[in-house]
Amino acid sequence: MLNPKIIDYIFSSASIQRWNDYPRMVELVELDKQAHKFIIAFFIAKLEDDVNYTHLIEAGIFEFLRRVVVTDIRPDVFRKALQKKAPEINKWVISKLKDSIETIDNGNFLNKFEEYLNDPSIYKKERFILKAASYLATKWEFSIVYQTSAFLSDIEDVKKSVEEEIEDYYELIGVRKIALNKKLAKIIDLSGRLRFQKRWAQTPRIPETSVLGHMLTVAMFGYFYSLKINACDKRLENNFFTALFHDLPEALTRDIITPVKYSVDDLSDIISEYEIIKIQDDILPYVPEKIQEEFSYYLGLYDDMKDEFLDKINEDGIKIITDGLVAYNYNKYNAIDGLALKQCDKLSAFIEASLSISHGIKSKELINGKKEIMKGLKTIQDVDFKALALEVDFAFGTTGQTQARMDFE
């Protein structure tokens, strides 16, 4: 499904600083910007016609990986460089990533990546939506930077440049709604605020990851899982967006760490009930009406309950599936691999802890957290998440890796 090399690339984006030549009141990193971009792209796309969501997801991942490789180039310089040296830059990007991705989906992922970079005529609508979403995510970041940069001589020129760019995307209904501060803008703002909530808040880590960035890592793991099991297009789409939005309610409830959530009797049920109320009152009213039912499905709402991590289909009403989704791998069933996405969620948390320990920042919370997470990793539809976690642990050279193998293999 994945390998430690590409996982390391994905998580390296949590260390890539943005706007690092301006004073900032908070850290702004590439992983969070890319996560916000995907969320914005989803809502823009849902207000358009003729969007291929598999292409939207893949184009976003391709651009994310390219950006990770060319991290040292400023965005504006990078855009100009692409205009004149795109073939050379893209060839270099592929050469850097090839060892990490050539085995994914039997080489098909690499082939699609190369085709995307070398042929700008494909995925045209999806590229345009992603460009608009990238601009809006950048504009949201700049509103933070501007607060602490008013004394700089060039800040008004930057502000003018950022504000003028929006005109390039006015043909998209979602962009106009966000620009006019309509209801949709509130969801964009709410999701953006998840970058301020840090994961593992009770212990220091390097790199720090936010709830927003975590949502994207889980979504990308869900995408690669979907490739591994040869999921149909709708199932792949559902898996990606369910994972991308799985922690959105935490913008309203804040992150409650797992040991607390499940150690106090009935607390998890109380939290779930409260999340449902907050979703219905403070999220769904601002989601475009025509996708509210679909969005509720992604958030895991069904029969006055909430659980995004259950296997389910939604053909003529939501049904929970307890014997696997192999028989439902057709677009008409609208399937979600909730159990596998829970494993992706756990794997992402395991990597967050393992990566910090590999950087020399470890605590009893991280060490114990890794052990507890490992106990919950399992095999879903022939994808062994525990083996992948051990492989990552070994590749990162994490302290205790040998003992971990002895304990859990």
* Vertex 385 angle, CA 382 and 388, to 5°: 110
- Residue 380 CA to residue 239 CA, distance in Å, equals 14
Mean model confidence pLDDT for the chain: 91
Closest CA to 20 of 66, 62, 74, 87: 74
Q: Which residue has the tokens 């700049």?
A: 142
Domain ranges of the chain: 4-191
Reading the block at residue 316, the tokens are 């003529």
**DSSP letter string, 182-229:** -HHHHHHHHHHGGGGSBTTTTS--SS--BHHHHHHHHHHHHHHHHHHT
Comparing 73-77, 185-189, 191-195, 348-352, which segment has the lowest mean pLDDT?
A: 73-77
**131 vs 197: CA distance, rounded Å:** 26
This prediction has a pTM of 0.93
Structure confidence by residue, pLDDT tens digits, 296-307: 999 999 988 899
pLDDT of 402 above 60: no
The highest-confidence range among 80-84, 368-372, 402-406, by mean pLDDT, is 368-372
Superfamily of domain 4-191: Hypothetical protein af1432 (1.10.3210.10)
Structure tokens belonging to residue 324: 């696997």
β-strand partners of 314: 318
Taking a C-beta distance cutoff of 8 angstroms, is the pair 120, 53 a contact? no
**Do residues 178 and 136 make contact, with C-beta atoms less than 8 angstroms apart?**
yes
Q: Which residues contact 313 (CB under 8 A, 6 or more apart)?
A: 319, 321, 325, 328, 333, 334, 335, 336
Residues 6+ apart with CB under 8 A from 208: 14, 27, 198, 199
pLDDT the model gives residue 400: 54
Distance from C-alpha of 246 to C-alpha of 244, rounded to nearest angstrom: 6
